[in-house]
Structure 1
Amino acid sequence: MGFNETFFLFSLFFLHISVSIAYPHSILQILPENRESFHHRKIPRDDNQYCDSWKFTVETNDAAPWTRVPSRCAAFVKDYITGDRYRSDSEAVADQSLAFAKTVKISGNGKDAWVFDIDETLLSNVPYYAIHGFGSETFDENSFDEWVDLAEAPALPASLRLYRELPQLGFKIILLTGRTEFQRNVTEKNLDYSGYSNWERLILRGPSDKGKMATIYKSERRKELVDEGYKIHGSSGDQWSDLLGFAVAKRSFKLPNPLYYIP
């Protein structure tokens, strides 16, 4: 055997050793004869894993439309929404929002705006949902309106922090909510009670907005702001319908919400 042949075999040997070390044995076994069983293998999932994946599809808007939290996920949603993970996720969104806000070049004309939704964005309705199955029950508008009338929804701490820092950077705060005009007084009272103040404008649904999908209603109101000369740099909401449509913000930030879906 000549030198070249010996060198070739020697190289093949070390290549085999390197591949064996670099890749797990299980990956090396995905050979042509095993690929079909690999791709069709069912992954057993307990409720926690199933519900975590379900929540992922909610946040990526792949589950839409949906009307209730799956019954098997009610406990999961309760643990999430009342635990550290929800607050941590909300803090992460606020941090990214603030990081973007600091890059915006403010014009100084008083028209640099940041738009906030209210429910599950600034205010938390978890006390209400705690006695209504954490989203697993059919939504009852009358009982929810009674809760709103109490004006006791607490602030989301991460959102309150962001809200207070944005004006210091030169932003005007616009509140755009799906609540109706007859709830203006209790909404203002609740916002003040929870630590929010000095917003530029509070926009609620009027009689002409009745029956409109949230995406259309909020897009129309943002368009009115743009027509007035506002530049919407940022937008924060817990629903995709808060953020999508037309006249959208330069950057939109989605807060977590596995409790309900609004189209």
Structure 2
Amino acid sequence: MASSVHHLLFIINLLIIPTTLLSQSIIQMPPRRHRITDDNLYCDSWRFSVETNDAGTWTSIPSRCVAFVQDYMTGDRYLSDSAAVANYSLSFARGFRSEEMVRTLGSSTSMRLCSPICPTIRRMDSGLNSYGHRSVTFDEASFDEWVDLAEAPALPASLKLYKELKHLGFKIFLLTGRSEHQRNATAKNLLYAGYNNWERLLLRGPSDQGTTATVYKSEKRSDLINEGYRIHGSSGDQWSDLLGFAVAQRSFKLPNPMYYIA
């Protein structure tokens, strides 16, 4: 009779240093531990942790990191990081030239800083704290108003990737957490930003309301698989875009230290 006892495992990957190197000084460690007081260093480590999903669910940018995140998002580093992810994605896609590929792109992926990064950045300086900045909580009414403007620019790296995938002959599905009533505004914005000829734009219908992003997007991917598609690649700026079930062969996480969607 099989045992009903379940074992909890925590796997730690160890770095083994060859004994021949033990006598050599590979990295000089400081003799004493020092408290990290530099905001940029602390915030860069915080950003790394949220991007790798080590931090798990988080609700707001630390006060001391608001200015850091704003500089990151509006400067060259965000564009460079996004381009690096897009290049890896394209390199993978080129291995399937003779096959059909389903590409699921979240709306925040396909429309630069948005959903709802753009309106949040514009409002980050509207109040002050001891660091001179404050983070802003998500406001659905303001976000809906911004969606209706349909003016979000494309993230250059994502638009380039989109066009390259189209050139290679892949079918592209755009999967977003926006609701069905925002279809016209979303499609208008995509066209305005330079996207066209996508295979299908998938939004939340009435039966999808109330489900988490991870479940909702997994279900939509599952529907595509049931239609006979093979999902070779998927990209998004949220882990909920990529995890769950019916996942792609390869997933590509775009940077987003602005907010977390479960």
- TM-score, normalization by structure 1: 0.82
Distance 1:93 1:26, change over 3 A: closer
Alpha-carbon contact 2:111-2:152 (below 8 Å) kept: no
* 2:83 aligned residue: 91
State the alpha-carbon separation in 1 of the partners of residues 113 and 161 from structure 2: 15
* 2:253 aligned residue: 254
* 1:112 aligned residue: 101
State the alpha-carbon separation in 2 of the partners of residues 85 and 118 from structure 1: 21
Q: Residue 129 of structure 1: which of 92, 106, 120 is its match?
A: 120
State the alpha-carbon separation in 2 of the partners of residues 71 and 105 from structure 1: 46
Q: Does 1:227 align with 2:219?
A: no
Alpha-carbon contact 1:236-1:243 (below 8 Å) kept: yes
Given residue 180 of structure 1, which amino acid in structure 2 is its aligned partner?
A: S
* 1:237 aligned residue: 236
State the alpha-carbon separation in 2 of the partners of residues 61 and 133 from structure 1: 24
Alpha-carbon contact 2:120-2:136 (below 8 Å) kept: no
What is the total number of aligned residue pairs between the two structures?
Answer: 232
State the alpha-carbon separation in 2 of the partners of residues 220 and 127 from structure 1: 28
Per-residue CA distance 1:140-180 (angstroms, 9 max, x = gap): 11101110110011100000000000021121000000000
State the alpha-carbon separation in 1 of the partners of residues 27 and 61 from structure 2: 40
State the alpha-carbon separation in 2 of the partners of residues 19 and 90 from structure 1: 38
- TM-score, normalization by structure 2: 0.83
Given residue 230 of structure 2, which amino acid in structure 1 is its aligned partner?
A: K
Distance 1:50 1:25, change over 3 A: closer
* 1:6 aligned residue: none
Alpha-carbon contact 2:235-2:253 (below 8 Å) kept: yes
* 1:100 aligned residue: 92
Given residue 221 of structure 1, which amino acid in structure 2 is its aligned partner?
A: K
Stretch deviating more after TM superposition (161-170 or 111-120):
111-120
Alpha-carbon contact 1:57-1:63 (below 8 Å) kept: yes
| Percent of residue pairs bearing the same amino acid type | 62
State the alpha-carbon separation in 2 of the partners of residues 204 and 211 from structure 1: 13
Q: Residue 50 of structure 1: which of 39, 42, 51 is its match?
A: 42
Given residue 102 of structure 2, which amino acid in structure 1 is its aligned partner?
A: A
* 1:23 aligned residue: 25
What is the RMSD computed on CA atoms of the aligned residues? 2.2
Structure with greater helix share of residues? 1
Distance 1:25 1:106, change over 3 A: closer
Distance 1:19 1:148, change over 3 A: closer
Given residue 133 of structure 1, which amino acid in structure 2 is its aligned partner?
A: M
Higher radius of gyration, 1 or 2 = 1
Moved over 2 A (4+): 22-27, 41-45, 120-127
- Residue 44 of structure 1 deviates from its aligned partner by 2.3
Gaps of 5+ in 1: 1-17, 31-36
The DSSP-based 3-state class of the residue aligned with 1:259 is: coil
Per-residue CA distance 1:125-144 (angstroms, 9 max, x = gap): 24412222288111111101
* 2:67 aligned residue: 75
* 2:58 aligned residue: 66
Distance 1:219 1:24, change over 3 A: closer
